[in-house]
Amino acid sequence: MSAASKKLDEVREVFNRFDANGDGLISSAELAGVLKALGSDSSADEISRMMEELDADRDGFINLSEFASFCKSANVAGAGSGDDGAGVRDAFDLYDKNGDGLISAAELHQVLNKLGESCSVQDCEKMIKSVDSDGDGNVSFDEFKVMMSNSKGNAA
């Protein structure tokens, strides 16, 4: 499997998690539900703005193509130099539940389980080990940025 098709499979898997009723479209209610599961208290106005930004064909729903375009642009925007993109920081903060600047296996496990992913803490430890460059057993923001920029590079 090529890197591009692997990345598309990853995007499709995330899309399917958002698409709770399996109709191939993400509604504003489904988007709000996932954000709530991740611990975000997004207001109705914020959800509406997100939908407007992502819904390119203005049909009131986000389809897989629109979602994939967003993921690609978010990776490009977040992987550059400078302030590293607010999107990458926001994503990191969703996992860093205790706000200590590190993502532990327990925090990763908690978020993935809220998203319906069935994995063990040991699985999460393995995931972290694959990007943990300093060997402390956690993912720092710098390690997270490297991971995000590597996934962007693999999508090309």
Q: Which domains does the chain have, with CATH numbers?
A: 3-73 (1.10.238.10), 85-150 (1.10.238.10)
By CB atoms closer than 10 A (0-12, 13-18, 19+), residue 116 is exposed
pLDDT by residue for the chain (156 residues), tens digit each? 676 677 777 778 888 888 889 999 999 999 888 877 776 778 888 889 889 888 999 999 999 988 888 777 665 544 444 444 566 777 888 888 899 999 999 988 888 877 777 888 998 898 888 889 999 999 998 888 777 766 544 444
pTM more than 0.85? no
